[in-house]
Structure 1
Amino acid sequence: GGEEKVPECEFEQGEVYAVDVAMSTGDGKVRPGTLRTTVFKRNVETNYRLKMKASRYVLSEVDRKFPTLPFTLRHFEDERSAKMGITECVAHGLLTPYPSLHERDGGANVAHFKCTVLLLPSGTSKVTGLKIPEYFTTDKSPDDETAQALKDIAEREAKKAKKKNKKKKKKANK
């Protein structure tokens, strides 16, 4: 394809951003894996009257302990009951599953990192996400070719998302 320009963007004090990074040692075509999903997040804008007792238990616990943050099945005292209840909650859009990610070839390593950052007068502050130990530092940086390839991938994904949103809006307006 042709050379694409990344639109210029200015970050301003007082803004909040979600940073979502997926990396792979393979060809970069990361997809949801076949392993059972164990990380979920509550969709607070969605409501539904659940039928199963196990599902109501799960939703009640999620609303009480993790109303807006991701959680794992390990957080439940009765994990077996939670597994049953999660299914109905996901089916009705009350919970969003976060599947494990894999490469097509199966031999590649995949890492996925998410965090939320605040742009404050005193500087940038990471408010969610795992703490990265100090010993995870590097003196390496991508060469120009790799940096450009990463920009190209990000731009393609942004265009795909934009097209998808336009289609959703058109469909909703019909």
Structure 2
Amino acid sequence: MAAIKEVVIGTTIFRISRFDPFRQLKLLGDLQKEVLPAAGSMLTTVFGNDTPGQERDESAMLNAFRELSAKLGGDALGGWAERLIDPELVSFELVGREPQKLTAAHRGLAFTDYAEILELLFHILEHNFAGPLARWVGRFGPAREKLASLSGSSTQASNES
């Protein structure tokens, strides 16, 4: 995994650098404490279907998403955005302009709507945690199959360079 990840979200190019390993460790601890309990139903719905060839129950996934949304409110989402979008580690570039740090003062330039913020948060988390977690989880037999089924069913929302 490269030290800097570049993604295009909308018409904005974002460059994401990794947190240092100790900050990653602390963030992972907080994520598993604050976000994973709220995401429990969703994870159970996604991972709970062990019948080969059987489709995931869309209504169960929708209900799990609603439960996650009820537990992870605006203050929590805003707090995580503040923690994860570090101007020293995230920059953005608009067409025809020089790259600049993604500071609070520049957020209005970088994003057109909240969905772009959520997508950037996803990429920050993926860049910092996907590789190490995949290596760690891959050491456990049954988890390998679940990981493979997840990566095979995911779709790419951004244009990565």
TM class by shorter chain equals under 0.3
Normalised to the residue count of structure 1, the TM-score between the two structures is 0.24
Which structure has the highest helix share of the two? 2
Normalised to the residue count of structure 2, the TM-score between the two structures is 0.25
- Structure of larger gyration radius: 1
